């Protein structure tokens, strides 16, 4: 997706990044993202991206090929480049509308990191001056990916699936109420 950047695993950093994932990301994800395999993260893809006038400017709306993504701002001096988040979605619902409560923007600060679900739709706004370099660590769980293949109702983490489920429950409650009312009418 990025023109300017480098895959860190190709530069001998694979073992180190694996340790970062196992010792830190997995520990945090076990608590924060258990429903997307946070405790079983076992593979990663690590890379850096560079933004600026003479680099990539922005990055369109997308989801990552990861269960959990670590995004660290390495610097240096820049303005703009905010991350915008627009709700967590499964494959089926990736292009559905954003609800107003799902709008969340984040401004990068050098030295700070964001940890989010890979399926949390997001993008990067244009870096308007300077140069911005970010380190990305896409963490994956083979257990989660395998389970997802066989279980149809496996998207409790998708906001749209949850919304549809609520809607179905609401409809069945309404239908049951109507049924009761009708029953009442025939009885009288």
Which of residues 91 and 179 has its CB atom nearest to Zn ion in the complex?
91
160 binds Zn ion (CB under 5 A): yes
Which of residues 11 and 61 has its CB atom nearest to Zn ion in the complex?
61
* Beta carbon of residue 36, minimum distance to Zn ion (angstroms, whole number): 13
Alpha-carbon gap, residue 86 to 103, rounded angstroms: 5
Alpha-carbon gap, residue 81 to 122, rounded angstroms: 12
* Beta carbon of residue 160, minimum distance to Zn ion (angstroms, whole number): 5
Stretch that binds Zn ion, among 30-38, 106-114, 115-123, 158-166 (CB under 5 A): 158-166
161 binds Zn ion (CB under 5 A): yes
E-strand stretches of the chain? 5-7, 43-52, 59-62, 68-75, 78-80, 83-88, 103-106, 113-117, 120-124, 127-140
DSSP one-letter code for 151: -
The answer to whether the beta carbons of residues 166 and 99 sit under 8 Å apart is: no
If we measure between CA atoms, which residue out of 106, 107, 88, 108 comes closest to residue 98? Answer: 88
* Beta carbon of residue 118, minimum distance to Zn ion (angstroms, whole number): 14
Which of residues 54 and 97 has its CB atom nearest to Zn ion in the complex?
97
93 binds Zn ion (CB under 5 A): yes
- Binding residue for Zn ion, selected from 127, 134, 141, 155, defined by CB under 5 A: 155
Which of residues 66 and 155 has its CB atom nearest to Zn ion in the complex?
155
* Beta carbon of residue 146, minimum distance to Zn ion (angstroms, whole number): 19
Residues 6+ apart with CB under 8 A from 109: 73
Residues lying near Zn ion in the complex (CB under 5 A) are found at 90, 93, 155, 158, 160-161
């Amino acid at each position: 997706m990025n023109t300017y950047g480098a895959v860190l695993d190709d530069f001998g950093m694979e073992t180190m990044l694996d340790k970062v994932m196992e010792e830190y990301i997995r520990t945090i994800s076990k608590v924060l993202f258990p429903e997307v395999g946070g405790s079983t993260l076992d593979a990663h893809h690590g890379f850096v991206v560079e933004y600026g006038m003479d680099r990539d400017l922005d990055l369109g709306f997308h989801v990552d090929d990861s269960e959990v993504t670590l995004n660290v701002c390495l610097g240096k001096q820049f303005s703009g480049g905010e991350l915008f988040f627009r709700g967590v979605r499964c494959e089926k619902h990736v292009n559905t509308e954003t609800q107003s409560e799902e709008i969340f923007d984040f401004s990068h600060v050098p030295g700070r990191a964001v940890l989010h679900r890979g399926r949390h739709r997001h993008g990067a706004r244009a870096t308007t001056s300077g140069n911005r370099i970010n380190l990305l660590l896409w963490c994956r769980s083979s257990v989660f990916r395998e389970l997802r293949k066989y279980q149809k109702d496996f998207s409790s983490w998708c906001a749209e699936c949850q919304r549809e489920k609520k809607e179905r429950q609401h409809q069945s409650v309404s239908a049951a109420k109507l049924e009761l009312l009708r029953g009442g009418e025939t009885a009288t």
